[in-house]
Structure 1
Amino acid sequence: MIGIISPNYNSYKSFIFDCILNFYSSGKMLSNGKRNKIKIFEIDSLTLNIKSFKKPNVINKFVYRFFRKSKAQRSYEFALNLLEKGIGTPKPIGYFENRSLFTLQDSYYACEHLKYDLTYRELVETDYPDAENILRQFTQFTYDMHQKGVEFLDHSPGNTLIQNKGNGKYDFFLVDLNRMKFHESIDFQTRMKNLSKITPHKEMVAVMSNEYAKLSGENEELVFNTMWQLTADFQYRFYRKKRIKKHLKFWKK
């Protein structure tokens, strides 16, 4: 097991390594997904959020060992990059990799646990209070991210945490960071595509389009038509993939 820990957390180094080494037998489960698992660990006033990534397949075990950075390493480095650019994300603590001579066995990303009030998903799935205001501020957050050259490839409903700061103000924080691109500038089509996974609701796309057009100076009709077409294309592919998986499961029975 090797690990990189931010100098800001050197005083907790032994505790953090112990959490990683005993990940499956200690800590409080926060998310027990099929692919990844997230647990919470506490010491003093620090609450750690540790994500264990799914073990890579046979080929990727070799690829991640020698040719490509692990998901954990990318998450840590991307988080540092986001904070340098003034983009919200939970404070990164470190990453850890369990290696053999020729393969990567598993990996972990640790950050400070962030308390939040909602995710973007609540805006999609519920009649959330102050929704349009939050949606417009989320669009401002995304526009700022785009202006800084950040393309968040997993910009989807569950990956933005939202804190209510009071008086109609909200802060936004990105999570699940291992798939990002950093550019000098981002073209219009890529910006619109980056918003295509956020919501299937046309009225929400209309609000975001209105706000994005105000910020960017682009024609609002162009922004809406482009964003909505890319959203519809994504939704079609998403549900087609689900149908195919359902049929495959049926024929396997």
Structure 2
Amino acid sequence: MKVIINPKYNHLEESIRQIPDLFEGQGRVLYARRNLIKEMVLEDSLLINVKRYGIPGLINRIAYSFFRKPKGERAFVYPQILLQKGFETPEPIAYIEFRKSGLIEYSYFVSMQCPYQRNFYEFGNADPTSDECADVIQAFACYTASLHENGILHRDYSPGNILFDKVGDSYHFSLVDLNRMTFGEVSVEAGCANFARLWGQKQFFVQLAKAYAAARHWDEAYCVERVLFYRKVFWSRYQKRHELKFHLEL
């Protein structure tokens, strides 16, 4: 068993090493598909989030065992980069990995539990002209622009991976599921394409693109056109293979 622990939590090493044994019978399930996510309590009543990654297919098992960092290890490393740059994400606690005959099997990413209760699924059929929705769009566009200007591109910028809440008079955002990240200059094309996976009506994206363009001092009409283009490409393909859970207007 390979265990990497954030030095801040070295005093919890014994409890952290017990997580795989306790995982099946304890905790509250938050997500259960190929990967399983649970909310658990570590010693001293510390509320944590534990994501167990399913065993990859053979080709990916070989790749993650010898050529690429496994998803869970990347999910442990990348949040530290965001936190250093001043962006919110649940603090990583540990990465745990099991192998058999040299090939990766189950792995676990352990982090603090994010306190924010809202995510972007709620905007699927929302009215973007409502005061609150408009405020969230403006704040989120500025937040995303800041991420991009700091060389951070979340490649799975989907509704469930963006958590937020209003804290005082302003909206705060926290990113999760960070195993797919790119760091470096974010071009206008990459920036506009980054919104494609989000839920929402066409006008939601028009407002988002305008606010994003203003924040990055780019041409508004061009950004609107590109945001809508990449959104249409993604959702035109997606709806052919999946049932949609919101009204899609392309």
Output the aligned Cα RMSD: 1.6
* Residue matched to 2:230: 230
* Residue matched to 1:121: 121
Alignment map for 1:99-114 (pairs within 5 Å)? 99-114=99-114
Cα pair 2:126 2:200 within 8 Å, conserved: no
* Residue matched to 1:144: 146
Cα pair 1:199 1:205 within 8 Å, conserved: no
**Distance in 1, Cα, partners of 2:216 & 2:39:** 40
Cα pair 1:156 1:198 within 8 Å, conserved: yes
Q: What secondary structure does 1:50 align onto? A: strand
Report the alpha carbon displacement of residue 13 of structure 1 after superposing the two structures with TM.
1.2
**Distance in 1, Cα, partners of 2:124 & 2:242:** 20
Report the alpha carbon displacement of residue 242 of structure 1 after superposing the two structures with TM.
2.9
Report the alpha carbon displacement of residue 209 of structure 1 after superposing the two structures with TM.
1.4
Amino acid at match of 1:242: H
Identity percentage of aligned residues:
30
**Distance in 2, Cα, partners of 1:71 & 1:240:** 28
Q: What secondary structure does 2:231 align onto? A: helix
Q: Which moved more, 1:212-221 or 1:70-79?
A: 212-221
Q: What secondary structure does 2:135 align onto? A: helix
Report the alpha carbon displacement of residue 174 of structure 1 after superposing the two structures with TM.
0.5
Report the alpha carbon displacement of residue 229 of structure 1 after superposing the two structures with TM.
1.0
Q: What secondary structure does 1:176 align onto? A: coil
Q: What secondary structure does 1:192 align onto? A: helix
Alignment map for 1:7-156 (pairs within 5 Å)? 7-32=7-32, 34-42=33-41, 43-126=43-126, 130-156=132-158
**Distance in 2, Cα, partners of 1:144 & 1:51:** 28
**Unmatched runs of 5 consecutive residues or more in structure 1:** 244-253
Report the alpha carbon displacement of residue 100 of structure 1 after superposing the two structures with TM.
2.1
**Distance in 2, Cα, partners of 1:200 & 1:124:** 4
* Residue matched to 1:189: 189
**Distance in 1, Cα, partners of 2:38 & 2:126:** 27
Report the alpha carbon displacement of residue 201 of structure 1 after superposing the two structures with TM.
1.3
TM-score in terms of structure 2 length: 0.91
**Distance in 2, Cα, partners of 1:232 & 1:126:** 18
TM-score in terms of structure 1 length: 0.90
Report the alpha carbon displacement of residue 148 of structure 1 after superposing the two structures with TM.
0.8
Amino acid at match of 1:115: P
Alignment map for 1:201-240 (pairs within 5 Å)? 201-240=201-240
Residue by residue over 1:20-63, the C-alpha shift from the partner in whole angstroms, topping out at 9 and shown as x without a partner, is: 2321122222222x211111221324111000011111222222
* Residue matched to 1:176: 177
**Unmatched runs of 5 consecutive residues or more in structure 2:** 244-250
